[in-house]
């Protein structure tokens, strides 16, 4: 059965491209672009895996991730964190906030696919 991914990212063209690639690979893709309402969207959609951008409008991806980890319902949900800054500081922030995996832009389509497969055992 096809697995569901929630892509939380505010760059429209990245959403389109990644959304296209994931759909072609058999994923059911939902997207969301706002940090403040991201946690509620995760709970509503209950995806198998989340792709979360670090820099979102209204609430940072790191904060969203901390909220998800603090909630028992989403504490174990696989989350792939995306960031446009590969600095050690960000990597460390993501690790401490509880990211399952961390990827720096610009990544390739295949990297994202491989990573999601690994995270969900699909």
Partner 1 sequence: MPRGLTGSRIRARRMALCRTQRELASEVGISPAYLSLIEHDRRRIGGKLLGDIARRLGVPVGSLAEGIDSELVASLHHAVAGMPDIPVEADRAEEFSGRFPGWAELVAAQFRRIDDLERKVESLADRLAHDPDLAVSLHEVLNTATAIRSAASILVGTESIEDEWRDRFHRNIHEDSQRLAEAGQSLVSYLDVVENERKDPASPQEELERWLAARDHHVAGLELRSPTTVDALLAETPGMRSISGRALAGRYFERYRSDALRMPMPDFRDRAESLDFDPVALAGEFGVDLAAVLRRAAALPTPEGGGRIGLVTCDSSGTLTFRKPVDGFPLPRFGAACPLWPLFRALGRPFEPVRALVGIYGREPVRFLVYAVAQPQGKVGFHAPQVFEGTMLMLPADRVTFPDLPVLPAGTSCRICPSESCDARREMSILVEGG
Stretch that binds partner 1, among 28-36, 67-75, 98-106, 114-122 (CB under 8 A): 98-106
Instruction: Give yes or no for a contact between 22 and 47, defined as CB atoms under 8 angstroms apart.
Output: no
The tokens describing 114, both together, are 């491989």
Separation of CA 30 from chain center: 11
Under the criterion CB under 8 A, does residue 109 sit at the interface with partner 1? yes
Query: Should residue 58 be labelled a site residue for partner 1 when binding is judged by CB under 8 A?
Result: no
Among 26, 36, 57, 85, binds partner 1 (CB under 8 A): 85
Sheet hosting strand 101-104, strand order edge to edge? 28-32, 4-8, 49-53, 79-83, 101-104
Q: Specify the residue for token string 């951008």.
A: 53
Find the shortest distance in angstroms from Cβ 43 to partner 1. Answer: 27
Cβ-based nearer residue to partner 1, 6 or 18: 18
Q: Please count the residues of this chain forming the interface with partner 1, following the rule CB under 8 A.
A: 18
């Amino acid at each position: 059965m096809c697995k569901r991914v929630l892509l939380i990212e505010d760059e429209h063209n990245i959403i389109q491209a990644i959304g296209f690639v994931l759909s072609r690979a058999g994923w059911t893709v939902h997207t969301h672009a706002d940090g403040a309402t991201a946690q509620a969207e995760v709970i509503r959609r209950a995806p198998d895996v989340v792709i979360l951008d670090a820099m979102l409008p209204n609430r940072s991806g790191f904060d969203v991730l901390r909220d998800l980890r603090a909630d028992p319902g989403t504490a174990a949900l696989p989350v792939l964190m995306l960031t446009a800054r590969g600095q050690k500081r960000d990597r460390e922030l993501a690790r401490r906030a509880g990211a399952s995996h961390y990827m720096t832009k610009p990544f390739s389509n295949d990297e994202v696919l491989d990573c999601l497969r690994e995270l969900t055992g699909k």
